[in-house]
Amino acid sequence: MPTVVVVGTQWGDEGKGKVVDALAPSVAAVVRFQGGNNAGHTLVVGGRKTVLHLLPSGALHDHCLCIIGPGVVVDPAVLLAEVDQLSALGVDIERRLRIASSAHVILPWHPHVDRQREVAAGAHAIGTTHRGLSPAYEDKVARRGLRIGDLISPSRLAAKLTMAPIDGYDRAEVLERLAELGARLRPWVVDVPELLAELRRKGEGILFEGAQGTFLDVDHGTWPYVTSSNTVAGAACAGAGVGPTAIDQVIGIAKAYVTRVGGGPFPTECAPDVAEALRAAGGEFGATTGRPRRIGWFDVPLLRRSALLNGLSAIALSKLDVLSTRSEIPVAMSYDGGWPEDLAFARPVYRTFGGWTRDLSACRTRADLPHAARAYVDALQEAIGVPIAFVGVGPDRDHTIDLR
C-alpha cells in the first residue's frame, strides 16, 4: 500500500478530514505530524457530525492506528477529553492510539499566554486560536519545554518542572495535575519513528494527515500571519520521523473557493454580501473557534504555488456544491506582475465562469455534473497543472466523485 501525505493547499479548513477518512480503509495508520488542537477536522459519517481537534481522522475506522507524531504539540487534557468523547460513542480508540514520547506538551499556562498576547496586540493580532500553540512551540525551540516522555515519568516530570518558568502557577498543583494526565497517557506512548519503520517493513499503507494549510506554514505562508509549524508536505517526514524516500504520493485538498480565518492578506477575498451568502451555504465557521471564516474566489496562482511547495501528485477539490446557485463564478487565473514577495501586494486577474443551479449532491460520476460545473473543474485542473482526482459534492463520506 502507498504512503500518502494529505495537506491543505490554501489557508486550512479545505476538508482534509473527509478525504483522510475516505482513504483510511486502505491504510494501517493515520499520522498527525504538526500542529495541535488548533486544528478542527470535521467528519460526517451517516449524517452524524464529529469534530476532532487532535486525534487523527482515522479514529472512526476500527482497524486504523491513530498516531500522534513527534512534531505535534499535545494538550493532554484536550486529548483525553477527545478519547473519552469517542469512547462514549462506542469507538474503540484506546486500543489504537499511539503518541510519540518526543512530542512536546502544551502546558497549562500556554493558552493563557497565547490569549494575553493576542489581546495586547489589539489591531495587530494574528487571530490565533488561543490554544497555546505558539508558546508551546517557542518553548520547544528554546529548549525549555516538556515532552510527553517527561510527563509519563514522575521523577523526570518533577525535575523538568523545577526548571520550567511557570509564573503565577502553583508548582505542586501543576506537578500533581500533569502526573495524573501522564499516568493516563502512559499506555499509548511509543517510539513513533520505530513504529512507522515496522509498518513499512510489513508493507502497510500509512497516511500522514496535515493540519492547517500551506499558506499558514511558518516558512512559506503569509508570515507573520501564520501558525507556528511547517504545514507543507515535507514536514510529514520531520514531524513523524520517516525519510523523504518513504513518501509515495502527496494529495492536496483545495476548496472550490477559498477561506481563511484570522488576519493576514487574502488576494481574492470577495465582497461582504457575496461572502455572507457563501459562508451560509458552506457553513464556513471555524470548527475550533466558531469564528466566521473570510471567503474568497478560487485562486489559481495560490494553487500553483502550493503544487510547487508540496510536490502535489493530485488534488481533491472540495465543496463544489457550495457554488451551486451562483450565476457567475470569478476565478483568479493569474496575478498581474507575477507572484509577489508579500501576498498583500498580489493583483489578481479574474476570469468569470458561468454557474449552475442544479443540486450536485447526487452526482457520483463526472458525467453526472452539469456542463458548467465540469467546465469549471476542467479549467482549474488545466490552469494548475495537477490532476484533480476527487471532487466533493456534499459533506458526507459518499458525497464524492472519484475522477481517477
CB of 199 to ligand IMP, least distance (A): 26
Residue 253 three-state SS: strand
The answer to the question of residue 39 lying near ligand IMP (CB under 6 A) is yes
DSSP assignment string, 35-102: --TT--EEEEETTEEEEESSS-GGGG-TT-EEEE-TTSEE-HHHHHHHHHHHHHTT---TTTEEEETT
Residue 118 three-state SS: helix
The answer to the question of residue 222 lying near ligand IMP (CB under 6 A) is no
Candidate list 228, 230, 318, 324; residue touching ligand IMP; CB under 6 A: 228
What cell does 318 get? 472540495
Measured between alpha carbons, how far is 164 from 18 in angstroms, rounded to an integer?
39
Measured between alpha carbons, how far is 58 from 339 in angstroms, rounded to an integer?
36
Nearer to ligand IMP, 13 or 139 (CB): 13
The answer to the question of residue 313 lying near ligand IMP (CB under 6 A) is no
Candidate list 3, 5, 7, 12; residue touching ligand IMP; CB under 6 A: 12
Site string for ligand IMP, 105-144 (x = CB under 6 A): ---------------------xxxx-x-xx----------
The answer to the question of residue 57 lying near ligand IMP (CB under 6 A) is no
Location of C-alpha cell 496586540: 121
Nearer to ligand IMP, 3 or 129 (CB): 129
Residue 288 three-state SS: coil
Measured CA to CA in angstroms, residue 89 lies from 37, 59, 338, 366, 403 at distances of 20, 12, 50, 36, 34
Catalytic residue among 13, 75, 114, 321, which? Answer: 13
398 belongs to the catalytic site: no
CB of 138 to ligand IMP, least distance (A): 11
Report cis status (omega within 30 of 0) of the bond before 224: yes
Nearer to ligand IMP, 78 or 369 (CB): 78
Count of residues of this chain found to bind ligand IMP when the rule CB under 6 A is applied: 21
41 belongs to the catalytic site: yes
Residues forming the active site: 13, 41
Summarize as ranges the residues that interact with ligand IMP (CB under 6 A): 11-13, 38-40, 126-129, 131, 133-134, 211-212, 216, 225, 227-228, 261-262
